[in-house]
Amino acid sequence: MRGKIGFFRWFIGFFLLFLYAPAMLLPIFAFNASSIVSFPLTGFTTEWFLVLFTNETLHLAARNSLLIAITTAIFSTLLAVLAARASTRFSFFGRRSIMGFVMLPMVLPEIIIGVSLLVVIIQMGFELSLWSITMGHILICTPFCIAILSSAFMNLDKSLEEASFDLGQTRWNTFWLVIFPLVMPGIVASLLIAFTISLDEFIIAFFLAGTEPTLPVYIWGQLRFPAKLPSLMALGTVLLLVSIGLLLIADYFRRRGIRKTGIENTGGFL
Amino acid sequence: MTLPIIRLSGLDKFYGEFQALSQINLDIKTGEFFSLLGPSGCGKTTLLRAIAGFETLSSGSLQIDGLSMEGVPANKRPTNMVFQSYAIFPHMSVAENVAYGLKARKLPKVEIKARVAEAIDMVGLQGFDERASHALSGGQRQRVALARALVLKPRVLLLDEPLSALDKKLREQMQSELRRLQRAVGITFVLVTHDQEEALTMSDRIAVMFDGKIAQVASPQILYGKPSTRKVAAFIGMMNFLDAKVLAASGDNVEVEVQSLGKLTLSLEQATGGLNGCDSVGVRPEMLTILTGSQTSEREIEAEVTEVSYYGDMTYYDVKFPSKEDPITVTMRNTAGREVLEVGAKARVGWSTSSLLLLK
Ligand SMILES: Nc1ncnc2c1ncn2[C@@H]1O[C@H](COP(=O)(O)OP(=O)(O)OP(=O)(O)O)[C@@H](O)[C@H]1O
Ligand SMILES: [Mg+2]
C-alpha cells in the first residue's frame, strides 16, 4: 500500500517537473543580463522587455494575433452555442454522428487541417490572409467551445425553460431571461478558451499566413537569430502570463456558473 | 350545471409506437381539487403536460373553460404548473421568481409589487422576498413555486407530484396547507400523485389511471368504498380477494358462491363495476373483526392466525381459512383490553355480506 502511494507521488512529481520546468526557464532567461541563453546566470535586467516595446514588426504580429483571436473567440462561441443547444435539447436523426464529426477537429492533427485548408484555399483561388487563418482557428476552436458549452447547457434543468414558457413568457424572452444568464459563465469560459487557443496556435497560422504573420509565426521566424533569443524569452514570459491569466478567469466563470445553478462541482481544468 | 373547466375527449398520445395515453375522457369541474392517481409510468405526467400544453395530442380534443386548446401554446393557456423539481429560477431572488409571470404580462410596476407581496404572504414566506433562491429549503422552494403560479390567478393550477421530494412530516404539513390554499383561492387544482393516501386526503375527486387509461373517476369515499375493478381496489388501500362464482342474478339479487364462505346472496349494487365477468369478492381488512369472548357477528368463520404485525394503534393479522385459499388480512384497532393474538392461535372472524364487493 505505502509503496504504491510512494510511487504515485514520485510519478506526479516528475510529471509536473517535465511539464513546467521548461516553461519556468522562460522567465528566468528573460531577466538574465546576457544575450546568450545558457547557465550560469550573469545578472538581472529588464532590457529584453524594453526591446519588445520598440519592435514594429512584433507589434504588427501581435495586432494580427489579437484580431484573429478575438474574431475566432466570437465566432467559435457563437457556433458552439447553437451546436450545444441543438445537441442537448433536441433529438434529431443522426445527432450522435453529427456531433462526432463536429468534435473531430479536436483530435485531428493540426498539420492535416493546415495542409488541407491550404490546398482548398489555393484551389478556390482565394488569397491567403488573416481571414484564412481565422477560418482555420474557428475550425479547431469550435469543438473545445462545444465541449464547454454542452456541459453548461446540459446542467440546465429543462423544466426551467418550460416554467418560463408556462408563466407566459415567449420562447425568445425565455432564452434571454433564463437560459442565457445561466449559461453566461460557460459562454465567457468558451470565449476565453477559444481566444487562448487561437492566440498561440502555430501550425495552421504558419500554413495559412500570407504576408501577415501572427505572433507565434513571427516568433518562429526570429528563432533563426540567436541575438533575438533573450527578447523572445521575454515575449514568451508575457504570453505565458496572459494565457495562465485567461485560463484562471475562464475557470472562475465556470465555477461561478456551477454555483449559480446549484450543481455540485465536478472536475474542471483547475 | 356549470361547464367543466377542463374537458378531455377521446384523447390519445403516442410516443412513436408506444401509446402513453389512450381514449382519455374526463371532465374536471370548476373549483374542484382533482387528483390523477396511478402507478409509475401510467401516464399521469403525460396527461398533465398535455393539459399544460407541453405535449401535443395524437388525437382527441382538449377544452379549457369551453375553449379548444388546439394550437394554443403553453404560454397562452389559462393554466399554470408547479413542476416536480419546482423549477425555481436559480439566478433570481424569491420576489423576482414570483414576479416573473406578472412581468411577462407587462403589468404596471406598482401592481406587480403589490401582487407579489400578497402571494408571498399567502404561502407564508414573509420576509424571504430578497432571499436568493438557491438558499432555500425544499419546503420553501415548493412555496415559491406555488406563489409564482398562483400570483397569476390561473383558471387551473397543475401540480406534478409537488410533495414527493419532501420528507414525511413536511409532506403531511404541506398537504393540508395545499388544501387550505386551494379553498382560499378557489382555483381548480389538478394534482398528479402516485401516493393513494395523499390523493384520498386532499381531493374532491380522483381519477385512477393504469397503463394510459382511466380506470375510475370518483370521490375518495366512493373510490375506497366502491372501487369498480379489482385493480383499483388493490391500488387504493388494502383489499382481500376471494375467488367467487356468480350462480344466478334475479332482480336486485345476485347469487354467488365463494369457496370458504359458501353460497351468498348479494345485492346487485355490490357488483360496483357491473356483473359482467365478476370472478371474485373483495373485502377491506377493517370490515372484518376478530371476535373475542361472547362477541357475535352477522356471519362467523373459524380461521388460524398465520402472521401478526403490530403497529401500535393497529394490529394486522393474516388469517387462513380451513379451505385452501391464500390467507387474508384482518386489521384490528388495539382498544383497551383487547389482547393481541399470537401466530397459530385460532380466531373467530366476523364478517357481513353487506361489506363484500363483487369485482372483476
Ligand atoms: N418523451 C417520451 N418519449 C417516449 N416515451 C415517453 C416519453 N415521455 C414519457 N414516456 C413514456 O410514457 C409513459 C408515461 O409516462 P409518464 O411520465 O406520464 O408517467 P407517470 O405516470 O408520470 O409516471 P411517474 O409516476 O413515474 O412520474 C412511460 O412509460 C414513459 O416511459
Ligand atoms: Mg410523472
Block residue for cell numbers 483561388: A125
pLDDT at A270: 38
User: What residue in B sits closest to A169 (Cα-Cα)?
Assistant: B104
* Cβ–ligand 1 contact at B89 (below 6 Å): no
Closest approach atom of ligand 1 to CA B194: 25
Stronger pLDDT, A31 or A165, i.e. the higher one: A165
Q: Do B74 and A170 touch (CB under 8 A)?
A: no
Q: Burial level of A184, CB count in 10 A (0-12/13-18/19+)?
A: middle
User: Is A45 a residue whose pLDDT tops 80?
Assistant: no
Query: Under a CB-based contact definition with an 8 Å cutoff, are residues B246 and B201 in contact?
Result: no
pLDDT at B291 over 50: yes
Per-residue model confidence as pLDDT tens digits over A146-169: 988 888 888 888 899 999 999 999
* Residue with more model confidence, B341 or A88: B341
On whether any CB of chain B is under 8 Å from the CB of A261, the answer is yes
The yes-or-no verdict on residue A6 having pLDDT over 90 is: no
Q: Is A218 left (phi over 0), alpha (psi -120 to 50) or beta?
A: alpha
- B98, closest residue in chain A (CA to CA): A167
pLDDT tens sequence across B197-206: 999 999 999 9
Is B100 in Cβ contact with A262 (below 8 Å)?
no
Do residues B347 and B319 touch, judged by C-beta distance below 8 A?
A: yes
CB B54, CB B45: distance < 8 Å = no
pLDDT category, B15, cuts 50, 70, 90?
A: very high
Name which of A164, A170, A262 is nearest B90 (Cβ-Cβ).
A262
Average confidence (pLDDT) over B137-161: 92
Centre of ligand 1 from the C-alpha of residue B15, in Å: 9
Lowest mean pLDDT among A225-234, A256-265, B350-359: A256-265
Q: In A, which residues are within 8 Å of B104 by CB distance? A: 167-170, 173
Strand partners, B267: B253
pLDDT confidence of B113, banded at 50, 70, 90?
very high
For chain A, domains (ranges, CATH) are: 76-261 (1.10.3720.10)
Cell of A20: 513546467
Which residues in chain B touch residue A157, judged by CB atoms under 8 angstroms apart?
Answer: 85, 87
How far is Cα B264 from Cα B246, in angstroms, rounded to an integer?
10
pLDDT score recorded for residue A258: 61
From the CA of B38, which ligand is nearest? 1
User: Residue A112 has what pLDDT?
Assistant: 86
Other Cβ atoms less than 10 A from the Cβ of B188: the count is 25
Q: DSSP class of residue B40?
A: T
Sheet with B6-15: strands ordered across: B18-28, B6-15, B59-64, B67-68
Least confident of A32-36, A93-97, B121-125, B294-298: A32-36
Rounded distance between C-alpha atoms, residue A8 and residue A3, angstroms: 9
| Alpha-carbon gap, residue B356 to B233, rounded angstroms | 12
The C-alpha atoms of residue A26 and residue A230 are separated, in whole angstroms, by 9
Q: What's the pLDDT at B101?
A: 94
Report the nearest atom of ligand 1 relative to the CA of B46.
18
> By alpha-carbon position, which residue is closest to atom 20 of ligand 1?
B41
Distance CA(B160)–CA(B146), nearest Å, equals 12
Q: Residue B182 pLDDT > 80, yes or no?
A: yes
The residues, any chain, with a CB within 8 Å of residue A74's CB and separated by 6 or more, are A191
pLDDT reported for residue A217: 85
Average pLDDT, chain A: 81
> Would you state the pLDDT for residue A265?
45
**Percent of chain A residues past pLDDT 70, beyond the cut:** 92
Q: Is B97 in the pocket of ligand 1 (CB under 6 A)?
A: no
Cβ-defined contact of A165 to B75 (cutoff 8 Å)? yes
First vs last Cα of chain A: how many Å apart? 28
State how far the Cα of A67 lies from the Cα of A37, in Å rounded to an integer: 32
| Ligand 1 within 6 A of CB of B41 | yes
Task: Give helix A130-154 / helix A95-103 axis angle, nearest 10°.
Answer: 130
Q: How confident is residue A237, by pLDDT bands cut at 50, 70 and 90?
A: confident
Which grid coordinates are listed for B217? 373517476
Bridge partners of B209, per DSSP, are B214
**C-alpha cell of A149?**
458549452
Q: How far is the CA of B212 from the centre of ligand 1 (A)?
A: 9
- Digit-coded pLDDT (tens) for B321-331: 888 778 899 99
Burial class (CB in 10 A: 0-12, 13-18, 19+), A173: middle
Chain A residue numbers touching B100 (CB-CB < 8 A) = 164, 167, 169, 177
- Residue A6 — φ and ψ, nearest 5°? -60, -45
Q: Which ligand has an atom closest to residue B21 CA?
A: 1
Burial class (CB in 10 A: 0-12, 13-18, 19+), A83: buried
List the single residue in B76, B83, B105 with the smallest CB-CB distance to A163.
Answer: B83
A260–B90 CB contact, under 8 Å:
yes
Per the structure block, which three cell numbers stand in for B124?
Answer: 407564508
**Atom 16 (ligand 1) nearest CA:** B43
More confident residue, A201 or A4: A201
Residue B30 contacts residue B58 (beta carbons within 8 Å):
no
Q: Is the CB of B46 under 6 A from ligand 1?
A: yes
Least Cα separation, residue A86 to chain B (angstroms): 18
CB B97 within 8 A of CB B148: yes
Contact A178 B75 (CB under 8 A): no
Ligand 1 centre from B40 Cα, in Å? 8
Interface of A with B in 180-209 (CB under 8 A): 181-182
The answer to whether residue B154 scores a pLDDT higher than 90 is yes
Closest residue to atom 18 of ligand 1, CA basis: B43
Residue with cell 373467530: B348
> Average pLDDT in the B176-181 region?
91
CA distance B355 to B155: 40
| B18 CA closest ligand 1 atom index | 5
Over residues B295-319, the mean pLDDT reads 91
What does the pLDDT average to over B161-166? 86
For ligand 1, atom 17, which residue shows the shortest CA distance?
B45
Whether A167 and B148 lie within 8 Å, measured CB to CB: yes
ipTM for this model = 0.83
Q: Of B175, B122, B164, B160, which Cα lies nearest the Cα of B144? A: B122
| Grid cell in block for residue A139 | 475550425
Q: What is the mean pLDDT of residues B96-108?
A: 93
Closest CA to B6 of B212, B222, B213, B189: B189
For a pLDDT cut of 90, what percent of chain A falls above it? 13
CA-proximal residue: ligand 1, atom 14 (nearest):
B43
Residue range B340-348: average pLDDT?
A: 89
- Across the interface, whether the CB atoms of B104 and A157 are under 8 A apart is answered no
The distance of B3 to chain A (nearest Cα, Å) reads: 24
Chain A and chain B share a number of CB contacts under 8 A equal to 64
Q: Kindly report the pTM of this predicted structure.
A: 0.80
Q: Which of A91-100, B15-24, B267-276 has the highest mean pLDDT?
A: B15-24
Residue nearest to atom 30 of ligand 1 (CA): B41
pLDDT band at A238 (very low <50, low <70, confident <90, very high): confident
Q: Does A168 touch chain B (CB under 8 A)?
A: yes
* Segment A134-152 mean pLDDT: 88
Cβ distance B206 to B196 under 8 Å?
no
Q: In which order are the strands placed within the sheet that holds B346-351? A: B289-291, B346-351, B299-310, B314-320, B328-333
In tens, the pLDDT along A242-270 reads 888 887 887 787 677 666 555 444 444 43
Compute the CA torsion angle A5, A6, A8, A13 (nearest 10 deg). 140
Q: Rounded distance, CA B174 to CA B195, Å? A: 14
CB contact under 8 A, B74 and A162: yes
A117 CA to middle of ligand 2, Å? 51
Neighbours of ion ligand 2 (CB under 5 A): B 45
Q: Which domains does chain B have, with CATH numbers?
A: 4-225 (3.40.50.300), 230-277 (no CATH), 282-352 (2.40.50.140)
Pocket test for ligand 1, best of B22, B24, B37, B44 (most atoms within 8 A of CB): B44
The predicted pLDDT at position B34 comes to 96
